[in-house]
Structure 1
């Protein structure tokens, strides 16, 4: 798989940028920023993705690591969703706390 990404660096770059953007939006984004600040953030993410692309092309599993991080984040979201559905169906007992 690393060889395929070496042969297609633009696809690897776009994949790294998309995964990195997802991680940023779900972990580090606390509130909505003004448009110019948002543009600066995404420009820096694009430059960071370029740096990570060089590491990917050097043989480090950057895309795999980001994919695992996103997979764990999606698993956690699914767990919270299921937990919320279970708690919504349970009647609450005001005497127990």
Structure 2
């Protein structure tokens, strides 16, 4: 996989950028920002994605798999919250 990413750096950059944007929006974004501040944040995310691309391609670090694991863990947490909310709703329905 790493060889393929070396041959297609723009796809690797897009994968890293998409993962970072997803993580930012789900974890760190508290409220809607004005358009200019939003643009600045996404520009800085793109710069960070460029740095991580260098780590992925030149240093051989597994950046894309690590982002995939982080997104997978976020998905598991969302499922857990959903299951807990459903269980609480069932308990409230039984009580009242």
Runs of 4+ in 1 over 4 A off after TM superposition: none
Alignment TM-score, normalising by the size of structure 1: 0.91
- Is 1:64 the counterpart of 2:65 in the alignment? yes
**Partner Cα distance (2:79, 2:7) in 1:** 35
Q: Secondary structure at the match of 2:61?
A: coil
Per-residue deviation at 1:50?
0.7
In structure 1, the partner of 2:53 is: 53
Per-residue deviation at 1:26?
1.1
**Partner Cα distance (1:79, 1:9) in 2:** 35
Unaligned runs of 5+ in 2: none
RMSD: 1.4
In structure 2, the partner of 1:41 is: 41
Per-residue deviation at 1:87?
1.1
Unaligned runs of 5+ in 1: none
